[in-house]
Structure 1
Amino acid sequence: MKKIWFFIAFTAVLFSCSDNNRSNNNPYIPNYSINAYLDTNLPTYNKLLYPSNPVYVANYGAKGIIVMKTGEGTYTAFDAACPNQALTSCTAMTIDGIYAECSCDKARYNLFTGLGEKEYPMKQYRVEFSGSVVHVYN
């Protein structure tokens, strides 16, 4: 029984580290410091109270951030810069439902996972939710 629990714990650690490491070692997007507090009581961020309603927030990261509620108390946050293009060549990605689309190559990325059609996934940030505030940071 101990071997089974060890295997489950080892597998969870292995899979939880692999994607995040790849997205945060993107050669196209620099490591900007992010510390955003988004109050869902404000009309601008009210959509974050409901799953699958992404919100674009300018003036953070390389080209802004895209934040989305994925489930009860869980959120994702990604940089809006195209992850497979030079930073200066594209505008911020646009939101299309639960996808973000790059203006340069029209590649689409899933806002639940950050994964898309190209080599690098979207650059991901950490998110905490407390009370009515969504905190995005790295």
Structure 2
Amino acid sequence: MFHKFLFILIAAFALTSCEPDDEVRNNPYLTNISFRLDLNLNLPEYNSLNFPGNSYVTYNRGINGVVVYNINNTQFTAFELSDPNHPLSGCSRLTVQGIIATCSCGDGNSYNILTGELSSGTGQYSLKPYRVRKSGNIIEVYN
């Protein structure tokens, strides 16, 4: 009986002693918005996504836009095109060249659109990822 009590006490202590790391997960600069973007790979506009190593950028979805990247025809990434280390402003919209998304706020922040990680500049946040699902010739990006 004592061992059972001791186990419950230790389990309760372990569950309540951890500090939440919401500050790390919740970016104060980027809000969570709901959207869905369907890309039909049969259409010429999205043709580049039929080939690994290519991306598609739209500034009509997400907060400041979305980039979708084809890793190997079965795996795709999608990220928000707002610099996650700045308040939203005109310069915080990222532009994509190759696999690098760059901020124009003057601090040199750039991000890898394959991983979302900061590749140069300063900041504690990575790019905001979006969910991606491929079904046939349709790529669905959503949050």
TM-score (norm 1): 0.78
Aligned-residue identity in percent: 41
Runs of 4+ in 1 over 3 A off after TM superposition: none
Larger Rg over CA atoms: 2
Deviations 1:78-122 (A, max 9, x none): 001111111124252111111111111331111111000431000
Q: 2:104: which partner in 1?
A: 103
Deviations 1:27-66 (A, max 9, x none): 1111111211011111111111111211111211110100
Q: 1:83: which partner in 2?
A: 84
Q: 1:18: which partner in 2?
A: none
Q: 1:26: which partner in 2?
A: 27
Q: 2:137: which partner in 1?
A: 132
Structure 2, unmatched stretches of 5+, are 1-22
What secondary structure sits across from 1:48 in the alignment? helix
2:112 and 2:89 map into 1 onto residues whose CA distance is: 23
2:108 and 2:97 map into 1 onto residues whose CA distance is: 12
TM-score (norm 2): 0.75
2:113 and 2:88 map into 1 onto residues whose CA distance is: 20
Q: How many residue pairs end up in the alignment?
A: 117
The amino acid across from 2:62 in the alignment is G
Q: CA deviation at 1:25?
A: 2.0
Higher relative contact order structure (alpha carbons within 8 Å, sequence separation ≥ 6): 1
2:127 and 2:44 map into 1 onto residues whose CA distance is: 26
2:41 and 2:141 map into 1 onto residues whose CA distance is: 13
Q: 2:16: which partner in 1?
A: none
CA-based RMSD of the aligned residues comes to 1.7
